[in-house]
Structure 1
Amino acid sequence: MKCVICKQGNTRAGTATVILERDGSTVVFHKVPADVCDNCGEAYHSSEVTEALLQQAAASIAQGAEVDIRRYAVAA
């Protein structure tokens, strides 16, 4: 698909790093599946990946993490 941010590049399957912050906590996910623009690097995530990221981040924060760095894991 054509990138909606730069309007120049096209996206292709790849991975990205996602940083989520909430209530003073930061959760960093590496190797998150995404369609990535070959021009500007903007990452687009599916609704399934987004939902899994939000659930995993909420669980990490609920356990009291202030900073958590992890590799993305497919939800079971």
Structure 2
Amino acid sequence: MTCLICKSGTYKAGKVTVKLERGSSIVLIKETPAEVCDTCGNYLLDQKTTRAVLKHAKNSFKSGAELEVSKMILA
């Protein structure tokens, strides 16, 4: 699939670090499986991964953590 951003790269399976911010809180989720553009680095997450990322971030934001760094583990 051609990259939606740069229009010249193609997506390949890889891993990324997802960064989410809310107010003064930052959540980093490392080693998140994604389809990554080989030219610009833009990435796409599948539905299962997106749900897991958002659930993890919601729990982190609820806890009041200012900065949380973790690795993605999908069951």
TM-score tier, shorter chain, comes to: over 0.9
Q: Which amino acid aligns with 1:39?
A: T
Give every structure 1 segment of 4 or more consecutive aligned residues whose post-TM-superposition deviation is greater than 6 Å.
none
Identity level (%): 41
Over aligned residues, Cα RMSD in angstroms? 1.0
TM-score (norm 1): 0.91
Please report the TM-score for the alignment, with normalisation by the length of structure 2.
0.92
How many residue pairs were aligned? 75
Specify the alignment match of 2:25 in structure 1.
25
2-side partners of 1:4 and 1:60: how far apart?
A: 30
Correspondences of 1:3-22 after superposition (within 5 Å): 3-22=3-22
Question: In 2, Cα distance between the equivalents of 1:38 and 1:30?
Answer: 19
The letter of the residue matching 1:12 is: K
CA distance in 2, matches of 1:48, 1:25: 24
Q: Which runs of 5+ in 2 are unaligned?
A: none
> Structure 1: 5+ residue runs without aligned partners?
none
Residue 62 of structure 1 aligns with which residue?
Answer: 62
